[in-house]
Every structure is written in structure tokens, then in C-alpha cells.
Amino acid sequence: MEANRVRIAETVSASRKLQEMDARALLAEASTLIVAKGKKVDRFSVSGSVSADAVGAMLGPTGNLRAPLIRAGRTVLVGFNEEMLTEALL
């Protein structure tokens, strides 16, 4: 991130478990959710209402938010896919 001059405003420790309520709060301020699971990338428009599918895509098998999670403006990025992150952040 730093190599591409992306400024990190806040870092949350992995020991702090964020769950469904936190996911909904993040999406309430977002317009787009992009979720990567391996090579598969799903995009959700979350303007207005937050769907259960969008929240479910953000959560891992334990019910906690998947990592990494990045909020860039009104876009929330979840999971690691280099192409998705490059496209969204640069």
C-alpha cells in the first residue's frame, strides 16, 4: 500500500472481532461492496438497503468479518484479490 502512496487512516487489530452488526454499520455508509474469495469477485450495490447476501459475503465461517477489509471512500473491499485491489485503489 505504502509503495503506491495509499494512506492508511485506521488499522484495527485482528484480536478485535468484528461481526454482522459491524458489517451492517460499514455498509450503511457505503454505496458499493466488492468481495473477493480467491479469483471470484462479487460486486454489490448497497445504496439504500443492505441485503443479507451482501452482509453474508463479508462474513467468514466463524461469523467474523473476513480480512482484509478496506474502506475507500464509499466503497468497501473485502478479501484479497490483487487485481481487485489494484483496480479499486489505484
* pTM, full prediction: 0.83
Q: What angle do CA 29, 57, 70 make, to 5 degrees?
A: 50
Does position 7 have pLDDT exceeding 90, yes or no? no
Task: Give residue limits of the domains in the chain.
Answer: 2-8+16-89
Does position 4 have pLDDT exceeding 60, yes or no? no
Cell numbers describing residue 38: 480467491
Report long-range pairs for 82-90 (Cβ below 8 Å, ≥24 apart). 83/41, 84/34, 84/36, 84/41, 88/34, 89/1, 89/4, 89/6, 90/4, 90/6
Band (pLDDT 50/70/90 cuts) for residue 15 is confident
